[in-house]
Chains A and B, each alone.
Chain A
């Protein structure tokens, strides 16, 4: 799907919201992990929920990344510190996946010992 420059402002707005939401989710997950661990409420049921959330988030990020939101055809602006659009957003989503791997490793219900 080709996206024209005029339409792109809306998309970049959506993108910002999505990335902000994702980052917030990551932060919430991480904090909840921290608090649950400290309050000794980190049982297997909670772990399973958090692990499911992690998997859903990864799935969502994949969909966003393979959509015109991250890979708009022929568009390389807005750039960030000169880095073309697809590259910097690509780096952001990649780092998000690594963060979710860190969280996933902590909340995976099967990995105990």
Chain B
């Protein structure tokens, strides 16, 4: 199996580097290197956003989530995702319209410009840095533990993680954003193929959908309804998740940048439709995998379940394709996020463009090393850690939406300050210094609501003041 994986893996890496070499730009400007020429068509735009969204989180996290917490996982992710796709038509259009006022470099730069305050840009950067880095780390960790579980004798988990980070850093540093986008297309196709082969096999094991759920009912009927056996999917969790996922295209720079650099609004429209439909196609087979695990491996650990479902119970060739799909998904999403962090850093720097891009490239390297370090230290709860990342970056939403919708955003200096304080409060809550909830309201939801109310009130008061003046 290792020989087969190495062979397919080397072919994949060779294709990646071929893309990187083909699209490599000699001009290392922000537009060419960090924004891929800022003229992305519908197909490339759709695949790159879909691949950035659907990653190891979908392939490794969601089946395990269905297995442990049951069918409510569909509402948690898939429903929220489709609402998000709809919202792209609405807010994505407004973001693009506003972004056209000035050359786009990144969300932090956009905030700094609209609030006429470098501090606002820095708050934006801190928000994505603090909450995106752990997300990158858990993806690297997710794949590394999976590879280590499959080949325990070959190299330690930390070595797998290091190899992954090395490949993505070299590849993205050479080719820039355009190369990453081409790898996203490849990853999207691989992910779709891998997830459906396994999904079909899992369903085939039961002989049909009805038989599958009957089997799960015998094992643990709490999996078939909300809130699930562990009580996770309560109203607050689902509402908080919906808000966090809904805000992702605006608060996660790897997605907002892709929305802005699409060729035109018509491309945005096609991409939004494709994204919603693609999500259903990708997540549906993870239900079958989760139910398969719930029936056959209810008490197994995450890595045991994944290893058995993806590898042991499959033929060698399918196991290898799936493994490559998982590696590709992790590389594709993580390098997009690392690159976005580099772009965000660039957008708050001022100076000669090529020199600043150079600093951003050094930044990408440092972010990659930091995420590797975090990957070796973080826990195995893939989906919950990812959700924390979504909820954390969602705190930036009131700040971003004020910049998009309110012309006099620069008069509302309190919002960047309040956002920074909320980020600190959420970190303290996650570390256990502050409580996880207040008056039975989850801390992430409460902070988001407070910021949203503050933003609305600030806008109303400022509008009245301006009218009187």
Given the known inter-chain contacts A90-B71, A110-B93, please indicate yes or no for A66 contacting B238, CB distance below 8 A.
yes
Asked if A75 contacts B225 (CB within 8 A), the reply is yes
B86 to chain A: which residues have CB within 8 Å? Answer: 58, 97, 100-101, 104
- Identify which of residues 273-290 in chain B touch chain A, using a CB-to-CB cut-off of 8 Å: 273, 276-277, 280, 287
Asked if B238 contacts A72 (CB within 8 A), the reply is no
Asked if B75 contacts A65 (CB within 8 A), the reply is yes
Contact with B along A9-22 (1 / 0, CB 8 A): 00000000000000
Stretch at the interface among A23-31, A35-43, A80-88: A80-88
Q: Is B226 an interface residue (CB 8 A)?
A: yes
Asked if A86 contacts B74 (CB within 8 A), the reply is yes
Given the known inter-chain contacts A76-B221, A86-B71, A98-B82, please indicate yes or no for A81 contacting B273, CB distance below 8 A.
no
Q: Is A71 an interface residue (CB 8 A)?
A: yes
Chain A interfacial positions (CB closer than 8 Å to B): 55, 58, 62, 65-66, 70-76, 79, 81-87, 90-91, 93-95, 97-98, 100-102, 104-105, 108, 110-113
Asked if B265 contacts A97 (CB within 8 A), the reply is no
Partner of B280, one of A62, A94, A104: A94
Partner of A105, one of B97, B273, B280: B273
Chain B: interface size category: 35 or more
Total of A-B residue pairs, C-beta within 8 Å: 119
Asked if A98 contacts B75 (CB within 8 A), the reply is no
Stretch at the interface among B2-10, B128-136, B208-216, B337-345: B208-216
Asked if B273 contacts A74 (CB within 8 A), the reply is no
**Shortest Cβ distance from A52 into chain B, in angstroms?**
11
Task: Please measure, in the bound complex, the distance between the C-alpha atom of A87 and the C-alpha atom of B71, giving whole angstroms.
Answer: 6
Q: Is B304 an interface residue (CB 8 A)?
A: no
Partner of B212, one of A82, A91, A113: A82
Task: Please measure, in the bound complex, the distance between the C-alpha atom of A55 and the C-alpha atom of B83, giving whole angstroms.
Answer: 10
Partner of A72, one of B225, B242, B270: B225
Q: Is B227 an interface residue (CB 8 A)?
A: yes
Asked if B93 contacts A71 (CB within 8 A), the reply is no
Asked if B89 contacts A76 (CB within 8 A), the reply is no
Given the known inter-chain contacts A70-B75, A95-B280, A105-B89, please indicate yes or no for A84 contacting B82, CB distance below 8 A.
no
Asked if A94 contacts B72 (CB within 8 A), the reply is no
Partner of B239, one of A58, A66, A70, A102: A66
Asked if B265 contacts A81 (CB within 8 A), the reply is no
Asked if A97 contacts B90 (CB within 8 A), the reply is no
- Identify which of residues 65-83 in chain B touch chain A, using a CB-to-CB cut-off of 8 Å: 71-72, 74-75, 78-79, 82-83
Task: Please measure, in the bound complex, the distance between the C-alpha atom of A55 and the C-alpha atom of B86, giving whole angstroms.
Answer: 9
Which of B78, B86, B209 has the largest count of A CB atoms less than 10 A from its CB?
A: B86
A101 to chain B: which residues have CB within 8 Å? Answer: 82, 85-86, 89, 272-273, 276
Nearest 6 pairs between A and B by C-beta? A82-B210, A76-B224, A84-B224, A105-B269, A97-B82, A87-B71
Task: Please measure, in the bound complex, the distance between the C-alpha atom of A25 and the C-alpha atom of B226, giving whole angstroms.
Answer: 28
Asked if B225 contacts A85 (CB within 8 A), the reply is yes
Asked if A90 contacts B225 (CB within 8 A), the reply is no
Q: Is B380 an interface residue (CB 8 A)?
A: no
- Identify which of residues 197-235 in chain B touch chain A, using a CB-to-CB cut-off of 8 Å: 208-214, 221-222, 224-227, 233, 235
Asked if B213 contacts A71 (CB within 8 A), the reply is no
